[in-house]
């Protein structure tokens, strides 16, 4: 399934990119994991 999110604060996107880079994964992979955790909890 495809989910699009618009009008995200550029500062938030930068932080997401930094967190993903620390884990050695793409932004997409990082956000997919975050969505999965939110759905689980």
Condensed to tens digits (0 to 9), the pLDDT of residues 1-41 reads 899 999 999 999 999 999 999 999 999 999 999 999 999 88
Domain containing 19 equals 10-40
Residue 25 lies in a domain: yes
pLDDT on residue 31: 96
How many whole angstroms separate alpha carbon 22 and alpha carbon 20? 5
pLDDT on residue 9: 98
pLDDT on residue 41: 87
Residue 4 lies in a domain: no
- For 12, the token pair is 């938030």
Residue 20 lies in a domain: yes
Counting the structural domains of the chain, the total is 1
pLDDT on residue 19: 98
How many whole angstroms separate alpha carbon 11 and alpha carbon 36? 23
pLDDT on residue 10: 98
pLDDT on residue 18: 98
């Amino acid at each position: 399934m495809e989910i699009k999110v618009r009008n995200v604060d550029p500062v938030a996107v930068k932080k997401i990119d930094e967190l993903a880079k620390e884990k050695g994964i793409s932004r997409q992979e990082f956000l997919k994991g975050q969505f999965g955790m939110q759905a689980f909890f």
